[in-house]
Amino acid sequence: MKFRTILLIVCTILLLSAQITFSQQSKLSKGVNYISEFVASDYFKKLQLSNDDLALVDSIFVRAVEFKNGDYSEALLTLTFALVPYRKIPIRIPLLNIIIDYPLTSASKQIFDKKNENLPKTLFIDSPTNNFGDKDKLAHFFGSAYVSYSSNIFDLGNLIGYFIEVFEEKFKIQSSADPRDMMTNKLGNLFGRLLKTNHEILPSEVFLLHTLKYLTFTP
């Protein structure tokens, strides 16, 4: 990989990291613990008995907004970290060929494991039917929504969504960018932009847009 590309990726990481201050890290940790405990709770388990997975995603989103007292930017950032189904991500550093496990902000192992077990997994009509499904797409969705919603100068949602995929392809142990991740990033970007003018919009309404392309109408 060209040095210019490496430099661009590293600079972008530093730019994003610099936006999260020590104070915000403390608030983020509290939010991550709160949302993780909510999804891991017996109450959430009962909700699963009477609601589909998209309704559950809505309930998680609403709970995060309430916890953050209506601060949608903080809520989206919290959801991005709280719903990641991994505690660490393996990253391969180009040129040096060194693999490091980068720790992510997460709850205790017991809560984390229970949260992962309860995470909504059927987000799309074509979601995998295994036990994991599309659980990893939630962090993509809310992460892109956070960047899009919080971008005041110009819309960075698509740019960051693309950057995430390039980062995963070049730094993480992954052979190529996942087109379904890219699709989820775009939906998250759209959700963030819609939230700017309509705080009544729910994640399920945007997730369903992907399903519409599978529908056919006959007279």
Given a cut of 70, whether residue 86 has pLDDT beyond it is: yes
**Tokens linked to 56:** 């559950």
Does any domain span residue 15? Answer: no
153 pLDDT band, cuts 50/70/90, is very low
Does any domain span residue 188? Answer: yes
Does any domain span residue 55? Answer: yes
pLDDT given for residue 152 in this prediction: 61
204 pLDDT band, cuts 50/70/90, is very high
Closest CA to 58 of 81, 33, 74, 75: 75
**Tokens linked to 92:** 């391969």
How many domains, the chain? 1
The pTM assigned to this predicted structure is 0.76
H or E element at residue 99: strand 98-103
Does any domain span residue 149? Answer: yes
Does any domain span residue 95? Answer: yes
Does any domain span residue 90? Answer: yes
Given a contact cutoff of 8 angstroms between Cβ atoms, the answer to whether 155 and 144 are in contact is: no
Does any domain span residue 111? Answer: yes
**Tokens linked to 210:** 């992907």
Packing angle of the helix pair 3-18, 157-170 (nearest 10 deg): 120
Given a cut of 50, whether residue 31 has pLDDT beyond it is: yes
Range of the domain at 135: 47-210
Given a cut of 70, whether residue 211 has pLDDT beyond it is: yes
